Amino acid sequence: MIRFSGVSKRYPNGHDALQSVDCDIAEGEMVVVTGRSGAGKSTLLRLSAGIERATSGSVVVRGQNLSTLRESALAALRRNIGFVFQDHRLLFDRSVAENVALPLRISGATAAEEGRRVRAALDKVGLLARERAMPITLSGGEQQLACIARAIVNRPGLLIADEPTGNLDAESAGAILGIFSAFHQVGVTVILSAHDAMAFGAVGGRRIALDAGRIVPPAP
Amino acid sequence: MKSWLRQHRRSAGDAVARMGAQPAATLAAAAVMALAVLLPLLGSAIVQAARQLSGGIDRDATITLYLAVSATEEIARQVGAQLKSNPAAASVEFLPKAKALEDLKSRDAWRDLLDGLEANPLPDAFAVRLRSRDAGALASLRQEWGKLPGVERVSADSEWVETVSRVARFAERLVWGAALVLGLAVLAVVAQLTRMQVVMRRSEIELSQLIGASPTDVRRPFLWHGFLQGALAGLFAWLAAAAILLVMADEVRALTLSYAAEIAMDFRMLPGFIAVCAGTGALGLGGAALAVTREVRRFGGPG
Ligand SMILES: Nc1ncnc2c1ncn2[C@@H]1O[C@H](COP(=O)(O)OP(=O)(O)OP(=O)(O)O)[C@@H](O)[C@H]1O
Ligand SMILES: [Mg+2]
């Protein structure tokens, strides 16, 4: 489903975030990308989602080489991927439900469909009771849940979450990992990242370890 | 492609909601743009009226000879005979001064003025229709007839008509030029409004791009906003122009009373209502498109 071949990413400031990375992620697989802060986890995830373009090498997602895709085709690809951002990126001037509805707005769903899907997504993450709340009134964990609801509302076949348990207590983190496991169970390809390999000890899935922009053998 | 329609309806609704949320700003911007549009609108109405005037008057070359007020009937008879014998004249009509006075008195505006007079201040006149419309022939006849005994003044109406239509043609170009320049003003106002909106909604735009909004998706609500804001300005401008013409109509009628063709100046002289709104709407759309494309590119976006 996703194939990285000799992928390097250099940011405009000259920093090499990834250096000749090769990896394969199969359809329906669950993968946890680990590495310390600055290792390049977010960069890898953003490249997979077509949010960022590789400097060299090729990223192929669902048979499409992202380096050669036009901007509109890249946007279409992003519409079919659920992405949970490391920094949430909720819009603070609208309610939780409106935030979750944003992907449906972009894809042009009907109002009825929108209402139904937003409630289903919020229900799945256990946030239905806060549907009308403004994001500023949510706790950090609840904001993370709202962000996950937004990522799954379009029922994507590929779900990518960048440190979804970032700074949550063990119990909340466990609940969130449970949600991703459930999606994996029903055939969704799931890619997560964590700086602490131990954090996801409970969940299965393959580990991809990064260190200073290169893939290294995972710690035993 | 129903979702396509839905997205447009939603973007339009979004734009209307945003305009409604800031009614003062929306109306102020529309009023400023309406002022810019008003000028060429009124100009075009005036050109149109001048056209109607010059088209309405008989376009055959005619020369009118006014005799001296003191000229006797005998002199008038002699002049008439001379005119009729001239092969260049197709027809000669005598306009006796008594008749001219009657005509004038039948018009309200003149009656009071004329009733106070003891003697008829008007001269006898002849209207001569010419066979040829040649300007040179006209000029030489005019000169020749001006020297006839008892003739005080000779005027060629068709010359005057020519002048009006020449001025109208020139004024029309002026109006087009003004419309072009002031149209750019509308474009600039909408571009500035759009720029502010884009900056205000930056986080929403960036997020939308991250989760799959195409450049078209990002632009759509701003384009609708620009179009509607421009169309609103066109609406204001048209209504204002129509109101001004309505008020001016009586003045204009009084002004043109003395001519055969009367100008009815009203909103029918304006370019069509729909055309004006569509035109200013298109300008707004253009301004918004320029601004949103430029601004969104400035903050980078994904990829
Ligand atoms: N937009 C950017 N411009 C310049 N450098 C960047 C940019 N984004 C990331 N970097 C650099 O690239 C390297 C990898 O960044 P990345 O965000 O992928 O790390 P990470 O593994 O996700 O770290 P963390 O666990 O802190 O989120 C870092 O050294 C970072 O400073
Ligand atoms: Mg990161």
ipTM here: 0.91
Left if phi > 0, otherwise alpha if psi is -120 to 50, otherwise beta: which for A57? left
B contact test, residue of A46, A102, A153, A159 with most B CBs within 10 A: A102
| Residue A69 touches chain B, beta carbons under 8 Å | no
| pLDDT band at residue B95 under the 50/70/90 scheme | confident
Q: Does residue A45 sit within a domain? A: no
Cα distance between residue B14 and residue A50, in whole Å: 28
Total domains in chain A come to: 1
Q: Considering only residues A199 and B35, tell me which one the structure prediction assigns the higher pLDDT.
A: B35
Mean pLDDT of B273-278: 92
| pLDDT band at residue B261 under the 50/70/90 scheme | very low
Q: Do A89 and B4 touch (CB under 8 A)?
A: no
Residues of chain A whose pLDDT is less than 70?
167, 197-203, 220
Mean pLDDT of B278-301: 89
User: Which sign does the torsion angle of CA B235, B237, B242, B244 carry?
Assistant: positive
CB-based contact A51:A85 (threshold 8 Å): no
Q: What ligand has the least distance to the C-alpha of A34?
A: 1
Q: pLDDT digits over B133-171, tens only?
A: 677 777 888 888 888 888 888 887 666 667 777 777 888
Mean pLDDT of B216-220: 92
A contact test, residue of B210, B211, B220 with most A CBs within 10 A: B211
| pLDDT band at residue B301 under the 50/70/90 scheme | low
Q: Does residue A143 sit within a domain? A: yes
Domain ranges, residue A133? 92-153
| Residue A103 touches chain B, beta carbons under 8 Å | yes
Q: Do B10 and A105 touch (CB under 8 A)?
A: yes
| Residue B300 touches chain A, beta carbons under 8 Å | no
pLDDT at A94: 93
Count of residues in chain A: 220
Going by C-alpha positions, the residue among B208, B192, B225, B187 that lies closest to residue B11 is B225
Query: Which residue out of A11, A36, A37, A160 has the highest number of ligand 1 atoms within 8 Å of its CB and is therefore the one to mutate?
Result: A11
Q: Do A103 and B209 touch (CB under 8 A)?
A: no
Cα–Cα separations (whole angstroms), residue B284 to B20, B73, B183, B263, B278: 17, 69, 9, 34, 10
| Residue B297 touches chain A, beta carbons under 8 Å | no
Q: Does residue A116 sit within a domain? A: yes
Cα distance between residue B181 and residue B185, in whole Å: 7
Rounded mean pLDDT of chain B?
Answer: 84
| pLDDT band at residue B260 under the 50/70/90 scheme | very low
Q: Do B3 and A79 touch (CB under 8 A)?
A: no
pLDDT at B252: 67
Residue tagged 């609406």 (tokens): B235
* pLDDT over threshold 50, residue B259: no
* pLDDT over threshold 80, residue B287: yes
Q: Do B303 and A105 touch (CB under 8 A)?
A: no
Q: Please list the residues that pair with A210 across neighbouring strands.
A: A215
pLDDT at B272: 85
Q: Which of B204, B212, B303 sits opposite A103 (nearest CB)?
A: B212
| pLDDT band at residue B55 under the 50/70/90 scheme | low
Q: Does residue A102 sit within a domain? A: yes
Cα distance between residue B206 and residue B298, in whole Å: 12
| Residue A107 touches chain B, beta carbons under 8 Å | yes
Q: Which domains does chain B have, with CATH numbers?
A: 7-56+162-298 (no CATH), 62-131 (3.30.70.3040)
pLDDT at B225: 96
Q: What is the CA(B228)–ligand 2 centre distance, in A?
A: 42
Determine how many CB atoms are found less than 10 A away from the CB of residue B196: 12
pLDDT at A4: 96
Cα–Cα separations (whole angstroms), residue A173 to A140, A143, A149, A168, A218: 12, 13, 15, 6, 22
Mean pLDDT of B263-290: 86
Q: Does residue A182 sit within a domain? A: no
Q: Do B217 and A74 touch (CB under 8 A)?
A: no
Q: pLDDT digits over B241-258, tens only?
A: 989 888 877 776 666 554
| Residue B87 touches chain A, beta carbons under 8 Å | no
Element (DSSP H or E) covering residue A189? strand A189-194
Q: Are strands B62-67 and B125-130 parallel, antiparallel or unpaired?
A: antiparallel
**Atom 4 (ligand 1): residue with closest C-alpha?**
A11
Q: Considering only residues B136 and B79, tell me which one the structure prediction assigns the higher pLDDT.
A: B79
Q: Which of A71, A78, A110 sits opposite B211 (nearest CB)?
A: A78
Q: What ligand has the least distance to the C-alpha of A85?
A: 2
Least confident range from A3-7, B46-50, B51-55: namely B51-55
Cα distance between residue B100 and residue B35, in whole Å: 45
